[in-house]
Amino acid sequence: MGTTAKKKKRLETTLAAAVAHPVRTRCLVVLAERVASPAEIARELGLDVSKVGYHVSALAQANLIEQVGSRPVRGAVEHFYKAIELPLVSDDQETELPLKERQVFAESVLSIYAANAAHAIEDGTLLARTDNHLTRLAMHVDEEGWQEMTDAYMGLFERVMEIRAASADRMGGGAEASSIPVLSFLSLFEMPKSP
């Protein structure tokens, strides 16, 4: 198997691991938001702990989550996990990262996004609001158009962060019940040329 085929297979494996089963998707969603054990997730989802444990193990093998602690419980050991931490990376910082690290980062972001989207579809929240936004737009641009688009995406990202901060100020840290859980996923990437 060539290098490109191996990379593609690894990406397919990682992305597939996130959405291979609805339970796995739910586990990844929980672990992207907080630290939890398979037993805690099982209680939250009303499922058998061995079933949840199987899917948590699969996520760990795909390097989407990591063990962050453990504690003894009635003669056994309860392990705690969280999604791999994904820091915000500037263009300059990304340029300094090796391709392998950038690929792992991209796989993790896409996997968590796919899990979040699958969970929102399953629970009916993705389309609950008619003013939601979900767009896929394929196009061709020249080099100047590419630069203009990256600038536009960074401008939107900065505005989204401002809105998030203003909302947090208005809610005052204690309005969890009235808050709206939101996922903003911005992406812009070059596609392979058609054969």
Residue 134 tokens, joined: 């979900």
Q: Report the distance separating Cα 47 and Cα 117, nearest Å.
A: 21
Give pLDDT, residue 145: 96
Q: Per-domain residue ranges for the chain? A: 1-119, 133-195
- Whole-number mean pLDDT of the chain? 82
Q: Report the distance separating Cα 92 and Cα 147, nearest Å.
A: 15
Per-residue model confidence as pLDDT tens digits over 100-129: 777 777 777 787 788 788 888 888 998 999
Per-residue model confidence as pLDDT tens digits over 168-180: 888 886 656 678 8
CATH 1.10.10.10 is held by the domain 1-119? yes
Would the pTM count as exceeding 0.75? Answer: no
Q: Report the distance separating Cα 58 and Cα 64, nearest Å.
A: 9
CB 29 within 8 A of CB 119: yes
